[in-house]
Amino acid sequence: MNEKWGVVIVAAGRGTRMGTSESKQFLHLANKPIMVHTLELFQRLDFVNEISLVVGTDDIDRCETWVRDYELSKVTAVISGGGERQHSVLRGLEKLTSDWVMVHDGVRPLVTEAAVANCCRTAMQGGAAVLAVPVKDTIKQVDEGGVIVSTPDRRSLWAIQTPQAFRRVLLLEAHQRASEEGFLGTDDAMVVERMGAPVTVAEGDYTNIKITTPEDLPYAEFLIGQRRSERGEA
Ligand SMILES: Nc1ccn([C@@H]2O[C@H](COP(=O)(O)OP(=O)(O)OP(=O)(O)O)[C@@H](O)[C@H]2O)c(=O)n1
Ligand SMILES: C[C@](O)(CO)[C@H](O)COP(=O)(O)O
């Protein structure tokens, strides 16, 4: 890929669903903070040239130390996030200068280099793309009383992941507009979709899990171990 990409890694959440006193992005997997696993993947990609790392205000110092200790030279900014994921993304985005940008959750350490490249290539065809996988379960829409309202056709349903990749000016305008209008979405594609711009799905892997609740940790540890042994590492 000839284009150079900027990346926002959002890691300023509190991890309430994980329920640990330490925020989940700082928990260790295979002897390293989860967030460091994620950063190392983007550091290795030759088409990435800048990374904006968004963390909690009280975590800036230790994250700057990790950036030095783990030689994450592509991290060009370590900044504090906002109250919602979307606010954190906008702050990180404002620090990037590349024409093309990705947003990735700090707590998705298992994304593969091939999947990131697939997402970026797809974005460069239409301006915006997100990694996703077809849902495997039957999904029901259920009302407040617990009664099923509808069963959407599964063939049109995808579970959305990160990274999400965009032309920078498009994503910046979409986030700025959402912020001015008080719109809060659960991913970056939503702010672009509401501007009427197309966002394409790039098929990813089921193993690109977002570490959200305690049962995700042993599975992530297993996947990291499995990949290490595939690479012939101890
Ligand atoms: N104000 C926020 C909220 C979330 N995030 C980041 O967005 C990613 C995905 O969010 P999620 O899994 O929902 O993380 P948390 O908000 O930390 O989790 P919870 O909803 O359980 O509190 C995480 O890397 C998280 O650190 C962020 O940077 N700023
Ligand atoms: C962006 C995201 O990772 C897509 O799956 C996700 O929506 C962000 O976190 P959430 O708080 O679990 O929705």
Span between the terminal Cα atoms of the chain, in Å: 32
CA gap 44, 130 in Å, rounded: 20
CATH superfamily membership of 5-230: Spore Coat Polysaccharide Biosynthesis Protein SpsA; Chain A (3.90.550.10)
Strands 158-167 and 128-134, bridge-based pairing: antiparallel
CA of 162 to the centre of ligand 2 (A): 8
Structure tokens at 5: 């990409």
What is the predicted ipTM?
Answer: 0.97
> Taking Cα atoms as reference points, which of 131, 127, 108, 121 lies closest to residue 42?
108
Give the number of other Cβ atoms within 10 Å of residue 212's Cβ: 16
- Give, for ligand 1, the residue of 18, 53, 105 to mutate: max count of ligand atoms closer than 8 Å to Cβ: 105
CA of 8 to the centre of ligand 1 (A): 13
* Angle between the N-to-C axes of helices 168-181 and 85-93, in degrees from 0 to 180, rounded to the nearest 10: 140
Q: Quickly list DSSP for 122-138.
A: HHHHHSEEEEEEE--S-
The pLDDT of residue 231 is 87
Q: Residue 19 region, left (φ>0) first, then alpha (ψ -120 to 50), else beta?
A: left
CA of 85 to the centre of ligand 1 (A): 6
Q: Would the CB of 161 count as within 6 Å of ligand 2?
A: yes
Q: Is 91 exposed, middle or buried (0-12, 13-18, 19+ CB in 10 A)?
A: buried
- The full set of domain ranges for the chain reads 5-230
CA of 15 to the centre of ligand 1 (A): 6
Per-residue pLDDT of the chain in tens (234 residues, 90 and over written 9):
889 999 999 999 999 999 999 999 999 999 999 999 999 999 999 999 999 999 999 999 999 999 999 999 999 999 999 999 999 999 999 999 999 999 999 999 999 999 999 999 999 999 999 999 999 999 999 999 999 999 999 999 999 999 999 999 999 999 999 999 999 999 999 999 999 999 999 999 999 999 999 999 999 999 999 998 998 886
Q: Specify the residue with its C-alpha closest to ligand 2, atom 9.
A: 186
165 and 178 Cβ atoms separated by less than 8 Å: no
CA gap 116, 217 in Å, rounded: 22
Q: What is the DSSP letter of 218?
A: H
Q: Residue 60 region, left (φ>0) first, then alpha (ψ -120 to 50), else beta?
A: alpha
